Amino acid sequence: MRLAFEEFDRFEDAFEALLEKLDFKVTDPFRDVKKVLCIEPHPDDCVIALGGTIKKLADSGIDVVYLLLTDGSMGTTDESVLRHELALTRLIEERKSSELLGVKKVLTLDFGDTELPYDREARKEIVSLIRKEKPEMVLMPDPWMPYESHPDHRRAGFLGIEAVSFSGLPNFNRTDLMIGLEPHSVSAVGFYYTHRPNYFVDITDVMELKLKAVKIHESQFTEEIWELWEPYLRTIALYYGKLGGMKYAEGIRFVPGIFLHICPFHDVI
Ligand code: ZN
């Protein structure tokens, strides 16, 4: 017979029983998922981080929607390319790349590249889109990834996690209610670009397709840049693969919703 929680003397026993009570299982994260919202700071982040996973989700009938936060207009070293031209080029590349992976649609918020604001307005915009799309799962960059230099990446992670925490609260932006957007609770959150993955997707059979989808972002990956980036991306996939016991993998850190607040034991999740 199962013990009542007041009878547990050891953390390990209580923790195991607590995990059993949760709806979301880190070991089987896509079980009840019909739609995934993948938040990306720039037009190539979802495919770089999760192109293989996204292809597999789409093939299995799960809807994948991108939420692109900035216009990507800083992504060039060519002085002759103007911001608005690059933003348009990158959006076209993103549509082509996401189509190859089977992504349903790409939502955009058009904040300036390198200038993603970390404020209430940005949070509200993301919350509204979560309420509109009603995904069961939201993916975002891990904002605690050490040595990540890009503020848009760190902020995208923090904004994403906060939007997920607040989208179910009716008093957060009641204007949404007036235009018919109901509060929506997201059951699962996953962090990509993470150094602490706890779940691995074997992408060995779709690795070449992933690289093709990355390279569609031609404004970012000229032949010269690709000479270094292809080995970089393969090495990252081999690293996650080594951790997960496969050849090429993508690593994700899934966290059950309740542990996104006041939780001191992330080291054992
Ligand atoms: Zn980026």
Distance 158 CA to ligand 1 centre (A): 14
Distance 22 CA to ligand 1 centre (A): 33
Distance 40 CA to ligand 1 centre (A): 7
Would you write out the chain's pLDDT as a tens digit for each of its 269 residues?
567 899 999 999 999 999 999 988 999 999 999 999 999 999 999 999 999 999 999 999 999 999 999 999 999 999 999 999 999 999 999 999 999 999 999 999 999 999 999 999 999 999 999 999 999 999 999 999 999 999 999 999 999 999 999 999 999 999 999 999 999 999 889 999 999 999 999 999 999 999 999 999 999 999 999 999 999 999 999 999 999 999 999 999 999 988 999 999 999 98
Contacts of 8 (CB under 8 A, 6+ apart): 14, 17
- Give the model's pLDDT for residue 244: 98
Distance in angstroms (rounded) separating the CA atoms of residues 10 and 260: 22
- Give the model's pLDDT for residue 1: 54
- Give the model's pLDDT for residue 4: 87
Distance 222 CA to ligand 1 centre (A): 17
Q: How far apart are the two ends of the chain, measured CA to CA in Å?
A: 25
Distance 19 CA to ligand 1 centre (A): 33
Tell me which of 3.40.50.10320, 3.40.190.10, 3.40.120.10, 3.40.50.2300 is the CATH number of domain 23-257.
3.40.50.10320
Residue 78, helix vs strand vs coil: coil
- Give the C-alpha distances (Å, rounded to integers) separating 215 from 12, 74, 87, 220: 46, 18, 17, 8
- Give the model's pLDDT for residue 116: 97
Distance 44 CA to ligand 1 centre (A): 7
Distance 45 CA to ligand 1 centre (A): 5
